[in-house]
A and B are shown apart, each in its own frame.
Chain A
């Protein structure tokens, strides 16, 4: 069974700083990787997906994938208090259908 590991945090950064969220996964053949953001009491919302080694940028968010190290990260530049949430890393299961989630990293951005 695939596993996804994340540091639970909390990760605290000041407003305007770069927040770096990390995730490792157990199955070397995993192909698809997702970062979801979940505000307290709300449902998960997709931030980024990444499938190839390297960086993928979308606005203030950059996802980085290193398949050799089985490592995926999410960088948030110019962090805002509104970025305070739990960030969930996920990979597709062996069937390529369901998502296997890490337990999430809680980010707190102070103004």
Chain B
């Protein structure tokens, strides 16, 4: 079946602009995760959605970052007033139910460059 899809694949924006990144998880997966991968920083967790539960936002780096998940499927990560340090690859992953030990399947990522 289809894997996790993300759009856009690349985004170049100017400092101070808002951006929206989209993730479409694997069909039937109720758990969805956003991660960020910066040069030299590794993969960092941002936010987690599971079904209709309140999201775990503990990884969001500032209040400029927010995310929503509509209808338990597609998710949008929004970064307001972008800064140069927001430049990174934003990866979305999904898993079947979100439990301990579950395999997370990653999408191709959105490469964000803030000028």
Which positions in A face B, CB cutoff 8 Å?
A: 31-32, 34, 42-46, 49, 51, 88, 90, 92-93, 95-104
Contacts and interface: CB of A to CB of B under 8 A. Distances in A.
B109 interface: yes
B56 A46 contact: no
Contact of A93 (B31, B45, B105, B108): B45
Interface in B69-115: 91, 98-101, 103-109
A31 B100 contact: yes
A49 B101 CA distance: 8
A58 to B, nearest CB: 13
Interface string B31-75: 101010000111111001010000010010000000000000000
Interface residues of B, number: 25
Given A96-B100, A97-B48, A43 B31 contact: no
A97 B108 contact: no
Nearest to B111: A41
10 contacts: A31-B100, A42-B108, A43-B109, A46-B103, A97-B31, A97-B99, A99-B35, A99-B104, A101-B44, A103-B41
